[in-house]
Amino acid sequence: MSLSDKICVVGLTGQSGAGKSSVSRIFQKNGFPIIDADEISRSVAQTNEFLREVRELFPDCVDELGLDRKKLAAIVFNSPDKLKSYTDIIYPYITKNVLTTLTGFADDGANIVVLDAPTLFESGLNDICSVIVSVVAPMDIKIRRILERDGIPVEAVTSRLSAQKSEEYFTLKSDYVICNDADLGSLEAKTAEVISKIRERHNG
């Protein structure tokens, strides 16, 4: 029996600033186990094997403290080729960790698990998902949220967003789309509706 036969994986994705993390927390409050790909990425970035590979391509981005994320972001988000070089290194590590974690949930009897992954499609993790949910928001709202959250220049925000898939891409590739353009109460109501539909389809 394959992993997809044992467990329903809900892929949760969307552009930076759209509010994916807020939707993930709502899923968690409703009893769904969450796999956070960003958390896995941060864990991977501390391993010696990964750091050795990154140092070979981006020597200025690894020092005695580990990976310098700001330096790396300034390089990769301004060059599609360099971004691909970096993701070619990290995605296999993330995928391996995700599959191991999913297997553990399946063995424990979980029926539905949410995979919170901003690069769901780029990494190929969408291939293991039974359902895909994307969170979208108007561009001005996304930019404001990132500025407030990360405290980086607006030029860095627009570079980051332009390096990601378009909102149209997410919409076309998803089973459900949640537009996060209002307050938290509205977001909770929209997410609850999606959760209800997923549970109906997958007996969760």
User: What are the tokens at 32?
Assistant: 């769904």
Strands 66-67 and 176-179: unpaired
- d(CA 133, CA 22) in angstroms, rounded, equals 13
Is 125:95 a contact under the CB 8 Å cutoff?
yes
DSSP string, 165-193: PPHHHHHHH-SEEEE--S-HHHHHHHHHH
Annotated binding site for ATP, which residues? Answer: 17-22
Task: Report DSSP state, residue 165.
Answer: P
- Residue 34, H or E segment: strand 34-36
Annotated binding site, which residues? Answer: 17-22
